Amino acid sequence: MPDFADLALQYIDGEWRPGSGSWDIIDFNPYNGEKLCSITVATAEEVDQAYRAAERAQPEWAATNPYTRRLVFERALRVVEEREEEIAEAIVAELGGTRTKAGFELHLAKEFLRESVQLALRATGKIIPSPVDSKENRVYQVPVGVVGVISPFNFPFLLSLKSVAPALALGNAVVLKPHQNTPICGGSLVASILEQAGLPKGLLNVVITDIAEIGDALIEHPVPKVISFTGSDKVGRHVATVAAANFKHAVLELGGNSALIVLDDADIDYAVDAAVFSRFVHQGQVCMAANRVIVDRSVQQEFTDKFVAKVSTLKVGDPADPSTVIGPLINSSQVERITSLVDQCVESGATALLRGEAEGNLVSPSVLTDLPADSPALREEIFGPVALIIPVDGEDEAVRVANDTPYGLSGAVHTADTDRGVAVAHRIETGMIHVNDSTVSDEPIVPFGGEKHSGLGRLNGDHFVQAFTTTKWIAIQHGRSGFPF
């Protein structure tokens, strides 16, 4: 495991240094409460220093041959591979991720580094015809300049790298603010890896701080042209409002309330496996998690019996134990929120087929059914180990129930008929949906993002180019133009 104390610093203009704020963020292991490190917060002045360092370093980086830029990400991939066990141990310790979850996060992080190697070469230009004789229109995709990245606590290493590496590969500089619950995995560790990979100083700056210290300085600052935010829709709405008021583009990857639909002809055993994974991976702290399992009434009993039986076998405990499936929630506030939600559902008439208990930050799974139609739990993001089973009569009702939410991030449809599954998938108001698979999936070249309250814009593949470059038109008049006066 890395020495957390060595990484408990700000990283500004290529220098590791303490923050100058008046208070510390205390980084705890959510499983055993062990103090991992304390970090003095960065101030608004240090946010300014980070953005100014990025602003100074970016032009030379943008002018660097992209074949040279991509070498940094090739080396970063090798560094991650060499330090893989160390990073996995950090994920287990800082955010309570299980060993399986750490492996999943690291696999995707490496895939996105591989994609960043290719992205360095993908911002191309084109020539567009002109109605004016002897005129040439050249259109370029050029770096936006500086990108502000705000990452979440649930997949901090992956979701920091997922914006940071593509933005850098495309010729930008970055200021990264990780979540205060995961400052090392989401911030310092990313900087350490890219520093080791030879990224020039000033191009990546990491400020570990909190809105209580800096307010909206990270978003309002005049230097960044794009803000990439991953987190809750409540905070995302605020980020979008402030960014728009300051003429910045916001890329928002927000929450979800995904539905996994089990139609009457589904492979029940397989659907159970997909639903259990989709709901309980990383304790349900995943934006794509299947909050709602919508099951055709004709197979409801068989599905429910098998689902509850499988969930009952999931081991809850120490995330460092390879056999553990459900580790701790990130903090006591999340524990209180989840236990209160279950209590409220049961009090309002829901049936608890399993009712989880809390011990410290560990919360065992709950499975609820018979929820009243007006239950708030059906429409909100749960972000914990609670599954809702909702019986329906036929696919039309399944579609109606699936769409009855302000979110639209992911989803899944299980059926023996692929064409039927695709037809149902087309009717679900969501940015991503999977036929006969989990709701939790990400790949480096497919468009990732949501509809409704689940976000704005897309990431991955060519969508990285759209997010982190801007379009520039250069017109060339060969010969002399004629003017009316």
Q: Does 221 share its domain with 262? A: no
Does residue 274 have a pLDDT over 80? yes
Q: What is the residue whose two structure tokens read 């009952």?
A: 312
Q: Does 249 share its domain with 264? A: no
Q: Is 149 exposed, middle or buried (0-12, 13-18, 19+ CB in 10 A)?
A: buried
User: How much is the pLDDT for 194?
Assistant: 98
Any domain includes 446: no
Does residue 386 have a pLDDT over 80? yes
Active site residue 345: no
User: How much is the pLDDT for 462?
Assistant: 96
pLDDT in tens, 288-300: 999 999 999 999 9
Q: Does 359 share its domain with 394? A: yes
pLDDT in tens, 30-76: 999 999 999 999 999 999 999 999 999 999 999 999 999 999 999 99
To the nearest 10 degrees (0 to 180), the angle between helices 156-169 and 84-95 is 130
pLDDT in tens, 389-443: 999 999 999 999 999 999 999 999 999 999 999 999 999 999 999 999 999 999 9
Does residue 331 have a pLDDT over 80? yes
User: How much is the pLDDT for 3?
Assistant: 87
Q: Does 181 share its domain with 316? A: no
Q: Which of 46, 115, 213, 253 is an active site residue?
A: 253
482 pLDDT band, cuts 50/70/90, is confident
Considering just the CA atoms, what is the radius of gyration of the chain in Å?
24
Q: Does 301 share its domain with 400? A: yes
Any domain includes 485: no
Instruction: Spell 232-263 as b/e; 16+ CB within 10 A means b.
Output: bbebbeebbebbeeeebbbbbbbbbbbbbbbb
Q: Does 206 share its domain with 155? A: yes
Query: Of the candidates 272, 236, 267, 285, which has an alpha carbon nearest to the alpha carbon of residue 457?
Result: 236
Active site residue 185: no
Q: Does 178 share its domain with 157? A: yes
Does residue 1 have a pLDDT over 80? no
pLDDT in tens, 11-32: 999 999 999 999 999 999 999 9
Q: Which of 55, 185, 213, 287 is an active site residue?
A: 287
Does residue 2 have a pLDDT over 90? no
pLDDT in tens, 279-326: 999 999 999 999 999 999 999 999 999 999 999 999 999 999 999 999
**What are the φ and ψ backbone dihedral angles of 390, each rounded to 5 degrees?**
-125, 110
Angle, CA 98 vertex, CA 322 and CA 293 arms, to 5°: 115
CATH assignment at residue 172: 3.40.605.10
Any domain includes 15: yes
pLDDT, the chain, mean = 97
Q: Is 135 exposed, middle or buried (0-12, 13-18, 19+ CB in 10 A)?
A: middle
Helix, strand, coil proportions of the chain in percent (round to 5)? 40, 25, 35
Q: Does 299 share its domain with 405? A: yes
Q: Is the pTM of this model over 0.85?
A: yes
pLDDT in tens, 178-200: 999 999 999 999 999 999 999 99
Query: Of the candidates 460, 461, 97, 454, which has an alpha carbon nearest to the alpha carbon of residue 259?
Result: 454
Q: Does 206 share its domain with 88? A: yes
Task: Give me the number of domains the chain comprises.
Answer: 2
pLDDT in tens, 123-151: 999 999 999 999 999 999 999 999 999 99
Q: Does 183 share its domain with 292? A: no
Range of the domain at 101: 4-254+454-473
Q: Does 337 share its domain with 466? A: no
Share of the chain above pLDDT 90, in %: 98
Q: Does 291 share its domain with 380? A: yes
246: Cβ contacts below 8 Å, ≥ 6 apart: 219, 220, 222
CATH assignment at residue 282: 3.40.309.10
